[in-house]
A and B are shown apart, each in its own frame.
Chain A
Amino acid sequence: MARSVHTKTIPSSTRYLEDVRQFVVTLAQQADFPEDTVEKFKIAVDEACTNIIEHAYGGQENHEVDIAIIVEKDRFTVRIRDEGAPFDQSKYHEPNLLEIAKKRQAGGLGVHIIRSLMDRVEYRTRGQVNEIRMTKYRTSGNAQNGETK
């Protein structure tokens, strides 16, 4: 199975989240991932794009979010780039549900979801460009499946 790269650019608005989910689902299904894994990619990519739209760009809709999906024999990687405010990992704390409920705050849960669902999550900033790279490795059973295609 050759490495393939698929890209999509959306405006920084939540109305395009549905398109992004469809984009990811189609590619993950084509790459023969099981349905529960496809579901994980879908949620992780939605959460990452939502964070970029709402936090990196502060809800401004006149920017772009660049999504690239890299399908390889042993892994599926989603790389998302933006030019907004970088995500400061040092200020991130694992969410405590009881505290969130008490403060009556929505939000703060997306990063936890991404980390729970993906095998590897990396953040980078180079110049103006921020990048999140989320990777999930195939289990051996799935890799075999991919090889026969």
Chain B
Amino acid sequence: MSNFSVGFRTKGAILVLALQGELDAHTASELEAAIRKCQEENSYQIIVNGENLQYISSAGLGVFMAHIEEVRENGGDIKIAALQPKVFNVFDLLGFPMLFDIVETEAEALARFENAEA
């Protein structure tokens, strides 16, 4: 049984993926499927809400890496919000803050998308 799930919400044109549980090499395919679904629906403004994400390994981080270029080429972005400190540490260890917009709250991520459009 998988202990990871992705919830979808929309905020206008922006899609919020709410991650829950533990993201590892076994569950990364679920995040992969979720991001592919966004792309198939031409939703390229994506916020990943990590408030309930308990754990991430490089397999999970690799999913973001594999899709960020395509999302940005289509005028969008993947903004990562509300990570727990222990999860943020793994992002930080690999230098993700250099490549990704990582913010403290979902509201901040929304504001950044809105400001970019203004």
Contact = CB atoms under 8 A, between A and B. Distances in A.
B25 interface: yes
A18 B24 contact: yes
A83 interface: no
Majority secondary structure of chain B interface residues (helix, strand, loop or mixed): helix
Interface stretch (B12-20, B65-73, B106-114): B65-73
Interface residues of B, number: 28
Interface in A37-69: 39, 42-43, 46-47, 50, 53-54
Interface stretch (A97-105, A130-138, A139-147): A97-105
B24 A105 contact: no
Contacts of B115: none
B3 A18 contact: yes
Contacts of A17: 24-26, 57
B98 interface: yes
Contact of B62 (A13, A18, A53, A109): A109
B58 A110 contact: yes
Contacts of B69: 101-102, 104
Nearest to B3: A18
Interface in B27-54: 28
Given A17-B26, A113-B58, A113-B94, A97 B86 contact: no
Contact of B57 (A13, A47, A95, A97): A47
Interface of B: 3, 22, 24-26, 28, 55, 57-59, 61-63, 65-70, 86, 89-90, 93-96, 98-99
B26 to A, nearest CB: 4
A14 B25 contact: yes
A98 B17 CA distance: 24
Given A14-B26, A18-B26, A98-B99, A106 B57 contact: no
Contacts of B94: 95, 97, 109, 112-113
Given A46-B25, A95-B94, A113-B93, 14 more contacts: A14-B25, A17-B24, A17-B25, A97-B98, A101-B69, A102-B69, A105-B62, A105-B65, A106-B59, A106-B66, A107-B58, A107-B62, A113-B58, A113-B90
Nearest to B98: A97
B57 A100 contact: no
Given A97-B94, A97-B95, A47 B65 contact: no
